[in-house]
Structures are given as structure tokens and as C-alpha cells.
Structure 1
Amino acid sequence: MDANIAYAVISLIAVLMLSYMMKVVNRFWIRPKKVEKRVRELGFRGNPYRFFYGDAKEMERMRVEAVSKPLEQLSDDIPARVLPYHHHLVQKYGKQFFIWIGTKPRLNIMDPLLVKDILSRPNEFQKPKADHMAHVLVGGLFTIEGNTWIKHKKIINPAFHIEKMKNMVPSIVNSSLEMIDKWNKSLASKESGEVDIWPDLEALTYEVMCKTLAVGETSEDIRRIHQLRLKVNEQAAKVAKLMFFPGWWNLPTKDLNTMKALHKEVEGLVRKMVTKRLEETKIGARSEGDMLGLMMEAFHDETSGFSLDDVVDECRSFHFIGTETTARSLTWLLYVLSKHPEWQERAREEVLQVFGDQKPNVEGLNQLKIITMILYEVMRLYPPTSMIHRAISKDTKLGDMVLPAWIQLTIPITLLNHDPDIWGEDVKQFKPERFAEGVFNSKMQSVYFAFAGGPRKCIGQSMAMVTDKFVIATLLQRFSFELSPSYVHAPKHAFLLMPQHGMKLLLRKLI
């Protein structure tokens, strides 16, 4: 009897082990090879599947090589440095290729019509699930899906109506003037001097975001949140190479554990700020109608299903992603204006014509035509977001193809924006006149994805444009900008597009 029990136990263990091994073999070999066969039949080309690692090692090697040296001659031709592996595969396989992200193929989509179709169908083409890095760096409305996303957007959306954005203008201008005072003090009695504008612009846009959308006036805790966030970004860059391996989030590495601890501390401080605002509303403080106020109202409404955790996550998300994308667009805008003094002067003339020597005001918003053209062209050449990723959970039709389940898709914004087949042979040139008719009222609407597109296009688009316009208008009234001899031109993809060695400009006082 004992022998029979032992035999049965051993047999059960053997069956379980065999079943587990079959699942492992299926996940790491059989299924990837089946999917590879199907995507090749659709006309996509790429490297053969390599067990477990996929293309991770080669992708990391090319990234390290690309960022080891700056671009020559201040070139705006940035794809080979910003997305080196994608650029390499375009040369090797053409635009219709795939990359192995661990065990999953990720299809490269560069046809604007297909891109537009993908972005217009968010229920079918969703953001990749269990994207831990996206939750740490963004979170909230930018990562949730389905009915939860619809509910959150409905609550938050009124905070981004253009009339609300107009009310932000005095705060944007005053914060810009405070930054200018800092620059003037650093220059002292000198008429000109070098300033690394990037950290100052990040601090500026963070302050604007806090004042106008979430958390409120700057305090010691809010400054601490910003400092921690910068450390989170640094750690995220260090652990990014792990993201291509299945189960990477649970690896016991020092850098990953440090990033998780920093993220947890940020969440705790944001929760503290939100709770403080919540207590103020309980004793009669009125809602300001900002994003946090709208979320508080939803939280108090028991029928909304909007929890305190939702408030904290959205609050954390917006005053980070809004801060960083806006700061980067401003940074590259000032770089381009420094490189093209003729356009800088045209923009300054427009500002002086609209506002004179008075503070920029909301009445002049729609008169800044040249600045708007320049902004769109800068975001074409230097898009803050270099890639958009989507995933499908079942076989899905796209164009004349049926894509197999279990794959992902990449929309390489940087490659699209530098594609001569889309923009013409002058694609590498800075030509703001491309956008003389705007974006959304011209043919550019079908090929311009700086703010993504479809139902999930960037909710903060109006805010970003208003902030950029009024910061630049305020600066152009008071300074001219030139590239410093010490500036090193090194655009780098680190989740968002950043200047690898800072943005050192020569500022010359005008008033």
C-alpha cells in the first residue's frame, strides 16, 4: 500500500513537472516561432527568434554605441542616435520590420494611414499590459484602459478646456519672470552669459503644473517630490535594459529596488498633499475648478466610483508627464531658435508687435502665428515622445492584414517625422512654413502625431501649447539666445527625448 502511494505521488509530481515544462517550452519557443511564421507571411521582416533574449543584447549594444558620441555639425537628423536599432533595421529590412522584445515580436508601423487607424481604435489596440515602467513614470489616465479610462477622462477633461487654459496664462508668465530674475542674478552686471536652461525649464514647468492643475503652491514637500522624481528618472534609465526580459520587474537588482523605493516615497508625498487638500475641503475650502478640485468632487460623489487611490495616481501622473514633456519641447525650441537666429528674430518681432513691452496676456494667444508654426516644426524634428506602443489580445484586422494575437506594435514617431516619403526631400531641414496653415486644418493632420491621435490623443495638448507659447513670448521679450561654444548636441531617447549633456546657451539681455 505504501509503495502504491509513493508511486502515485511520484507519478503526480512527474505529470506536474512535465506539464510545467511543456508550458515553458510553449512560452519560450513554440509560440514565438508560430507567431514569427505568421508575421513573416504578412510581409514583415526581422531577425530570427533568439531564445529568451530576442533582440535585447544587440539593441542595448547599439544604444550604448549611439550615445557614446554626439551628433556632428548640430545636425537635426537624429533618428540614428535617438532610435539606433530601429533606424538600423529600416536600413536592413525596410519600414515593415519586427523586433523581438523577449519572446514577443513587436511590429514596426510607419504607414500614416495604418497609424491613424491604430490610434482611432483604442479598445482593440491597447497599451501593453503589466507595463510596470509606464506605471512608475506615467501612470493614471495614460496607462489605464477601457471603461476605467473613459470614467477618468470624463472627470478630468473639463480642467483642460481652452477657457481653463487661458486662466493659466498669468501664472505661466509670472513663473517665467521668476526664472528670468534667477538668470539675471546669475549674470549679475554682465550683459550676457552661459546658462544650462534645461533644469530651470523643468523646474518652471513643474511649478506651473502644480499651481494650475494638481497639488497647489510650491512647498517643501512639493520640492521634495520634484527632486525624488528626477532620481526616479535616473534609476529608470539604469534599469531600462532589463525591460526586454520576461519577469524583469521581480529581479532583485539594486537599481530596480532603488527605483521602486523612490517611487513609493513619491506616492506617499503626493498622497500627503492630496489628503491635505481633502481636509481643507471638509472645513469649507471651495474647489478651484482645477484638475485636483474636479477629482475631489468625484471622490466625494459615492456614485462616481472614483477612489482616493485614483486621485493620488492621476495627480502624480499629470504633474510629472505634463512637466517633463513640456520642459523638453521648450528646451528643444530654444535650441532651434538659437541655431536659427533669423527665425528667432521673426518670433521676437511677432511678440513685440502683439504685446510690446507689457506682460504677455491671454488676449494675444491666437495672434502668435509664427511661434505656433515654429513649435509644430520643432516637435516634428524633436518629438518629446519617440515611440508609441500598442498590443492586441486577439487576431485583429489592420488594413488588408489580419495581425495575430499576442503581438505588439510600435509607432516610431521620430522615424515617421524624419521620413522623406511623408514630408518630402527637405525633411531634415527646419522649415516652420510647413505649418503655415496649422496642423489640424491642413493635410498635416494625417501625418502629424506629436500628440498621438484618436480618442486617446494627449489630453494636455492645449495646456502644453499655451505654456510653450507664453514662456517663449516672455523670454523673447527679455533675452536673445545663442548656442554656447560648450554646448554638445546629443539628443537621447530616455523614455522622453532629452539633451544628454544639458542645454547650454548664451543669454544676452535685451532689457
Structure 2
Amino acid sequence: MDAKIAFTVISVIALVILRYTIKLANRYWFRPKNIEKRLRELGLKGNPYRIIFGDAKDVVAMRRQLTSKPMELSDDITPRILPYQRLMAQKYGKKFFIWFGTKLRLTIMDPVLVKEILSRPNEFRKPKNDKMGEVLAGGLFSSDGNTWTKHKKILNPSFHMDKLKNMVPSIVESCLEMMAKWNMALASKESVEMDMMPEIETLLNYVMCKTVVTGEISEETKKIYQLRITVNQQSGKLAKFMFFPGWWHLPFQEVKIMKAAHNETQSLVKKIVTRRLGEMKNGASNKGDILSLMLEAYQDEASGVSLHDVIEECRSFHFVGPESTTRSQIWMMYLLAKHPEWQERARQEVFKVFGDKKPNMEGLHQLKIVTMIMYEALRLYPPTGIFHRSISRETKLGDMVLPAWIQVTIPITLMHHDPDIWGKDATQFNPERFAEGVFNSKMQLLTFTGGPRKCTGQSMAVVIHKTVIATLLQGFSFELSPSYLHAPKHSFLLTPLHGMKLLVRKFA
């Protein structure tokens, strides 16, 4: 009897081990190799699959090597920002695949196919189980399907033109407060070196929180701002772990710090949300910001909005809104400082439209040169260098039928610097390319993505950028400091690794 029991136990254990072994073999070898075979049959090229890591270790190592020191003062940043993808494009063309662990990422640089992908969000969806995306963005930025549609409809009033028009005076006043501090620093000096990174970051964090997200600056929002910096720093350190399945549960210090910052942020946002909910229940009016709109929907049982939804949207806009807008603004300041002739043209336009009066919405629409500079900066230095979409079943794209469970990758920075799309001067600063508008039949600015899922805050970002540029140019001139080190680095968003040191002078 004991022998029979022992035999049964051993047999069960053996079957479990065999089943688990088959599952692992399928996950880490047979399924990836089958997908690779399918793509090669379509004429697509890439490196052969390598078990567990794929190309991921090479991607991380190449980027680490090329960002270990500053680069020359050039706007051709693709060799530094997406070096492995650039190498693969040179080797295999505009369509190629990269292995990120066991996940195949099909990279598409064909503008026609990219437009098709963006126009079909229900088929090409945001990747699921993307813990890094959830922590760094979340909410509307990471959701899909009915959740995204419902939340976007609720939040749309925050980005209507009348709301944006009312934002302009607040943006101007915030700029003037910052400029008053600059004037004090310049009281007895011809010029002063300033790192624009913390200056602009503080400015836009204040503007976004006050006018869009929570309608107030509190101790909680200040703490969230500091936690956001911690999360961003950790995201770069965690890149080396992200191709491991379940990396979020690994017992590494970097993961622990990220988790702690994420959890504390959620607690602080919940405190803000709960306080505002109590105020609204006691008769406080809807302030028209994101928090009020989400709480109003939450109190309507028919909306299906949970308190968790409210917290997530509030948290995500605290993170993504100020972050992406700050990065774009920083690179605009860099290009204005680097190209004094365009800075002067923009300043003359600002004075022609506003004189010495404060910028307003009506005048912003007349700033053609400022707008051209803004879009050229967004082209050369897009805050997000790459984005991914997933398909869960066989999907037709162009003349290809793609297998299920792959990701499609759009390398924004590579496409924005592609001479086949933007001309021979694609890697050079030339705002004239936008003299006739943002788009034509071939050019495709992907900074705000496109299609039905284009960035909800696009109009708001444009208003903020133009208002800040116009206000600053009325009072100051800028040039690159001799101590400035050109070191763009992509860590979730494109950031100047050593800050943005400019020489600031009063404009006489």
C-alpha cells in the first residue's frame, strides 16, 4: 500500500514537473521561435531569438555606453536616444523586429502604416500588464477600450478652449513671479547662469496643478512633486530588469524604492481626493478641474466611475501632464538659446503682437514664428521617443497578416529624424518646414501620437508653450552657458542629463 501511495505521489510530482517544463519550454522557446518563423515568412527581418533575454541586454548595454558621456552640440540625437533601433533600421530597413525578452516588438517606420495603426486603437491597443507604464503614467494615458472612452468624455471639459483661455492669465502671472526672481538675481549683473530644468519644472508643476488637476497647491501636491522625481530616477535604473517576467516582484532595492514612492503617492492623492469629495458634499462648487469632474462622475452612480478611478486619473495627471510639458519646454529653451537669430525673430513677433502688454489667447493665435519654433522643437526633441501597441489576435496591417501576441513599436525620434520623411536637413533645426502648418501628406509629427487616441492635452500643451515663450522673451534673452553639457537621455521622457544651463540677460 505504501509503495502504491509513493508511486502515485511520485507520478503526480513528475506530471507537475513535466507540465511546468513544457509550459516553460513553450514560453521561452517554442512560442518565440514560431512567431519569428511567421514574421520571416512575411519578409520581415531581425536578429534570431536568443533565449530569455533576446536583444534586451544589447539594447541596455548600447544605450548605457552611448549615454555615459556628453555628445557634441548636435540635434542629431538618434544615435544616443535609440541607438539599437537606429542600428537595426540601417541593417534591416523601415520594418524590423527586436526581441525584448520573450516579447517580439515589430518596429514600424513607414508613415502610411503608422497612420493606419493609430487609426485603429481597438485593434492596436496599449500593452497590458505594463507595470512601469502604470506607475509612470496610468489613468487615461494607459487605459483602453470603454474605460478610456468614458474617462475621456468626463475629462474633455478641462481642455475646452474657453477653459484654456482662462488659463493664460494664470500662466502669465506664474511666469512673471519667476521672472521677478530672475531680475533680483540680475540686479547688479549683466548676466547670470541658471539651470532652466528646476526653474521650468517648478513653474509648470504649479501651473498644471492649479489650473488643470486639483485647483490648488497643497502640502500633498508639493510632496507628490518630490515623489515624482524619485519615481523618474528609479525608472531609468530599472530598465535592466524589465525584460524579466514579474520584475515588479523582484527583491531589488531599486524596485523597493519605486514601490514605496508609488504607494506613498497613491496615499497622498487619496487624501486630496477625499478632502475635495467632502467639500463637494458640503456644497462646494465644481471648479472645472480634473478632480472635480471625476468626483462629479463618481457621485453619479450611473457613470460607473469608482473612487479608485478618480484617484488614478488625478495621480496620472500629476505625473504625466507637468512632466511631458516641462521636458518639451526645456528643449524649446535650448533651441532658442542655440539659435539667437530665431530667438530674435520670435521676440520681434511677440512685441509686434503684444507690445509690452501681457500675452492673451487672441494674440497667441497670431504667433506664427513662435508656433513654427515650437513644432520644430517637438519634432527634434519629442518628450516620448518610442511607444508600443499590442495585438491579441491575428491582425491585418497593410498587406501583412501579423500573428497574435506581438507588440508593434513606433520609434518617434527615429521617424522625426528620417530624411525620407522630413528631407535632407531632417537632423537640423529648421522651423521653416512648418511655415505652412503642422502636417502635409507626407510629414507626420508624432509628438502627440495621432488618430482617435491622440493626446487629450495637446491643445493645452500648445497654449502653455506659446504663453511661456512669449512672456519670457518680453523680458529676457538667453544663450547657452559655456558650462552646458549636451546630454539628452531618454528615461521615460527625454531629459537633459546634466540640466539646461543657460546665460540669462535682461532684454533692454
> What TM-score bracket applies, with the shorter chain setting the length?
over 0.9
SS of residue paired to 1:6: helix
> What residue is the counterpart of 2:432 in the other structure?
433
Q: Note the aligned Cα RMSD (angstroms).
A: 1.2
Q: Distance in 1 between matches of 2:215 and 2:298?
A: 18
Q: The residue matched to 2:455 in structure 1 has which SS? A: coil
- Structure-1 residue corresponding to 2:441: 443
Q: CA deviation at 1:375?
A: 0.6
Which residue does 1:271 correspond to in 2?
A: 270
Paired position in structure 1 for 2:311: 312
Mapped contact 2:122–2:145 kept (Cα < 8 A): yes
- C-alpha contact (below 8 Å) 2:214/2:290 kept by paired residues: no
CA drift at 1:382: 0.7
Secondary structure class of the residue paired with 1:437: coil
Alpha-carbon deviations, 1:131-158, whole Å to 9, x = none?
Answer: 0000100000011111111111111112
- Please list the CA deviations of residues 166-207 of structure 1 after superposition, one character each: whole Å capped at 9, or x if unmatched: 110011111111111222233342131100001111111111
* Distance in 2 between residues matched to 1:138 and 1:475, nearest whole Å: 30
Q: 1:138–1:317: 8 Å Cα contact kept in structure 2?
A: yes
| 1:28-39 matches, cutoff 5 A | 28-39=28-39
Give the counterpart letter for 2:71 in structure 1: L
Report how far residue 505 of structure 1 moved: 0.3
**1:499 and 2:499 matched:** no
> Which stretch shifts more, 185-194 or 401-410?
185-194
Distance in 1 between residues matched to 2:61 and 2:233, nearest whole Å: 19
Distance (Å, rounded) in 2 between the aligned partners of 1:328 and 1:478 = 22
| Distance (whole Å) between structure 1 residues aligned to residue 94 and residue 240 of structure 2 | 24
- Structure 1 unaligned segments of length 5 or more: list them: none
Partner SS for 1:303 = helix
Q: Answer whether contact 1:213 1:319 (CA < 8 A) is retained.
A: no
Q: C-alpha deviations, 1:27-59, integer Å up to 9, x for none?
A: 000111111111112222111111101112111
Cα offsets for 1:346-365 (capped at 9, x unmatched):
10011111111111122212
> Which of the residues 474, 477, 485 maps onto 1:488?
485
1:419 is aligned with what amino acid? D
Deviation at 1:216, TM superposition (A): 2.4
Give the secondary structure class of the aligned counterpart of 1:97: strand
Query: CA separation in 1, counterparts of 2:466 and 2:393?
Result: 43
Alpha-carbon distance in structure 2 between the residues aligned to 1:456 and 1:69: 36
Deviates more, 1:244-253 or 1:463-472: 244-253
Q: TM-score, normalised by structure 2?
A: 0.98
CA distance in 2, matches of 1:475, 1:491: 23
Are the counterparts in 1 of residues 210 and 216 from structure 2 also a CA contact under 8 Å?
Answer: yes
Superposed, 1:359-398 pairs within 5 Å as: 359-398=358-397
Distance between the aligned counterparts of 2:222 and 2:289, measured in 1?
20
The CA deviation string for residues 439-465 of structure 1, in whole angstroms up to 9 with x for no partner, is 25x336x52211100111000000000
Secondary structure (helix, strand or coil) at the match of 2:46 reads coil
> 8 Å contact 1:46–1:93 — kept in the other structure?
yes
Per-residue deviation, 1:504: 0.2
Whole-angstrom CA distance in 2 between matches of 1:46 and 1:24 = 24
Cα distance between partner residues in 2 of 1:228 and 1:246 = 26
Q: How far did 1:438 drift? A: 1.5
What is aligned with 1:196? 195
Measured in 2, the distance between the counterparts of 1:26 and 1:227 equals: 43
Question: What does residue 453 of structure 1 align with?
Answer: 450
Letter in 1 for 2:474: Q
Q: Which amino acid aligns with 2:492?
A: F
Percent identity reads 65
Q: Which amino acid aligns with 2:447?
A: A
d(CA) in 1 for partners of 2:58, 2:427: 27
**Cα displacement (A) at 1:410:** 0.8
1:462 matched to 2:451: no
Q: Distance in 1 between matches of 2:388 and 2:182?
A: 39
Which amino acid letter does the alignment assign opposite residue 67 of structure 1? T
Question: Would the aligned equivalents of 1:43 and 1:96 in 2 still touch at CA under 8 Å?
Answer: no
Which is worse superposed, 301-310 or 429-438? 429-438
| 1:342-353 map, 5 Å | 342-353=341-352
What does residue 103 of structure 1 align with?
A: 102
Paired residues, what number?
508
TM-score by length of 1: 0.97
Conserved? CA contact 2:186–2:505, under 8 Å: no
Q: Distance in 1 between matches of 2:396 and 2:127?
A: 18
Query: Letter of the aligned partner of 2:321 in structure 1?
Result: G
What are the within-5 Å matches in structure 2 for residues 209-358 of structure 1? 209-358=208-357
For residues 20 and 451 of structure 1, the distance between their equivalents in structure 2, rounded to whole angstroms, comes to 43
> 2:57 aligned with 1:57, yes or no?
yes
Q: Which segment drifts farther, 88-97 or 298-307?
A: 88-97
Question: For 1:325-361, what per-residue CA distance to the aligned partner results, in whole angstroms no more than 9, with x for missing partners?
Answer: 1111111001101111111011001111111111112
Matches within 5 A, 1:156-195: 156-195=155-194
1:61 shift after superposition? 1.1
Report if aligned partners of 2:238, 2:255 keep a CA contact under 8 Å in 1. Answer: yes
Kindly indicate whether residue 192 of structure 2 is the aligned counterpart of residue 206 of structure 1: no
**1-structure distance, mates of 2:127, 2:75:** 31
**Partners in 2 of 1:106 and 1:193 — Cα distance?**
47
Amino acid at match of 1:36: E
What's the secondary structure of 1:391's corresponding residue? strand
SS at the partner of 1:426?
coil
2:78 match: 79
Q: How many Å apart are 1:427 and its aligned residue?
A: 1.0
Contact 2:214 2:289 in 1 (8 A): no
Moved more, 356-365 or 330-339: 356-365
Residue number in structure 2 paired with 1:21: 21
Residue 219 (structure 1) shift: 2.1
